[in-house]
Amino acid sequence: METDIAIKRAVFRDGTEYVFERWIPRDPRALLIYIHDIGDHAGRQRSLIDYFSRRGCAITLYDQRGHGRSGGRSGDVDHFETWLDDLAEIIGASEACLLPRTPVYLIGHGVGALMALWYAVERGGVSGVVAASLPLRPLMVLPRWKERVAEKLAVIAPKRSFASTWLPARNLPDDRNVLSSMTLRTSREIARVTALLMPLGYRLRLPLLLLHGHDDRHASFQGTRDFFSRLALPGNQLMIYDNRGHDLFSEGDITPVLSDMEQWLELCLRDRSTRPSVTTSPQESVWQPLSVPLSSL
């Protein structure tokens, strides 16, 4: 299948340079936006690109600010909303290359899955979300005395980098684009939105596919299962994979995972006219200051 491929540098609204990849086959049926995990980068997703571009889907991937080949302070974001603004720009630029009304699906991994779901809650306008390895129940928890130290440091030195437990352990010594640290304020933002998202499953009135490895050593699959139980639509799907860890899209034979995603997408494309995406007016915004113990720092 003929595919138009672009790997380019661009600039976010605040001047931060980023790198994106866009793969557009002829007459794409859908637009998939992939959002990588914290500390990861888009360059490790070749199998996903090949699988779905061959099946008539346009795909956009990008290195988030402070990650991979993009600019910005390493592992740093000032506010979770900044990530959503970046994603909105990526979606808008990608949609401009396609026919109007092409359905848009977000595919998020790890903290990227958290971003995808929070985008659906706060911004809407997407046709569905695939959320893989959601970090709603981290397996590593700091002692309370370390939490107190981290809380104070996050106020005194928010840009200080450290090896946060939000960062999955990835044994990739030859990949210089994989991060081993992030800033205190980034960790604090992730913890805040994680606490906000769990009770808001009922607001996600769009097709969702939740994926998790049973042997994920970073985030328990039970957190994803608990979140699934709160979802409003009965047609949403949950897949728990035996003998699989955190990196579902890049560890071992990922064909079964991609096949499940394809089947879910086919159902969505046949039925999307009856599944309205969530809308959130400014008056209904759920973003609010929230004090969260930084147990996951």
The three state secondary structure string of 269-295 is: HHHHHHCCCCCCCHHHCCCCCCCCCCC
What pLDDT does 265 receive? Answer: 97
In the chain, which residues have pLDDT < 50?
A: 275-297
Task: Provide the residue range defining the domain that includes 29.
Answer: 3-284
| Domains: count for the chain | 1
What pLDDT does 163 receive? Answer: 77
Token look-up 């998939």 returns 32
What pLDDT does 145 receive? Answer: 61
Is residue 296 one of the residues assigned to a domain? no
Q: Helices 184-197 & 80-95, crossing angle to 10 degrees?
A: 80
As a whole number of angstroms, the distance between CA 240 and CA 132 comes to 10
What pLDDT does 290 receive? Answer: 35
Do 145 and 166 contact (CB within 8 A), yes or no? no
C-alpha distances out from residue 149 to 90, 156, 165, 183, 190, Å: 37, 11, 15, 14, 18
**Residue in 148, 134, 125 with CA at minimum distance from that of residue 35:** 134
Is residue 55 one of the residues assigned to a domain? yes
Is residue 63 one of the residues assigned to a domain? yes
Is residue 217 one of the residues assigned to a domain? yes
Is residue 292 one of the residues assigned to a domain? no
- In tens, the pLDDT along 106-118 reads 999 999 999 999 9
As a whole number of angstroms, the distance between CA 1 and CA 73 comes to 39
- In tens, the pLDDT along 34-74 reads 999 999 999 999 999 999 999 999 999 999 999 999 999 99
Chain-centroid distance of CA 200 in Å reads 17
Token look-up 């557009």 returns 24
Is residue 293 one of the residues assigned to a domain? no
What pLDDT does 121 receive? Answer: 95
Is residue 289 one of the residues assigned to a domain? no
What pLDDT does 232 receive? Answer: 79
Element containing residue 196 per DSSP (H, E) = helix 184-197
Token look-up 């003998």 returns 243
Is residue 145 one of the residues assigned to a domain? yes
Indicate which CATH number applies to the domain containing 158: 3.40.50.1820
What pLDDT does 182 receive? Answer: 92
As a whole number of angstroms, the distance between CA 20 and CA 58 comes to 13
As a whole number of angstroms, the distance between CA 39 and CA 66 comes to 9
